[in-house]
Amino acid sequence: MTGYQINSIRQNTIDTVAGVFARYGLVIVIAWFGGMKFTNYEAQGIQPLVSESPFMSWLYEIFSVYTFSVLLGVFEVAAAVLIAVKPWWPRVSILGSALAILLFAATISFLFTTPGVFEESVGGFPLLSLTGGFLIKDVALLGISVWTLADALRATRSSLAGSSQAHAT
């Protein structure tokens, strides 16, 4: 085995381990916040964000604060489960990643619609308030969700290519 092959194997191992940490770290975060959506505490916590959003405030005309929170929790837990199953069902995982992307894009929109995101007492932008700090993390989570989508698409293409070669022989 050449030095190049050893370095390639090492790099593949590092990439694989990093991917597992990224994927399942994301799964834990989404599942945890999704599970919290089933509590009145979290329903009340997201209420100011949702009610100030021109994109989502209308949902409170249809659903109670708690019911909307539970529905959001269902979507979040579903996204986490679907992302987690990528090693076995990469096509299914594509749906989970796409759902996570939509959820995080919606949450990031709160940075622009929620009053008090920037800490006015110390000069405002770019200094984030507690709410702003809570929301800005979703930029990174959105990036990881895009990566999990690309990873699931790559795995789907690989499995399709493998099955095409098996049928050709």
What are 68-115's pLDDT values in tens digits? 999 999 999 999 999 999 999 999 999 999 999 999 999 999 999 999
Q: What is the crossing angle of helices 130-168 and 3-36, to 10°? A: 130
38, 70 contact by CB (below 8 A) = yes
| pTM across the whole model | 0.87
pLDDT over 70 (residue 169)? no
Average pLDDT, the chain: 92
SS3 53: coil
165 has pLDDT over 60: no
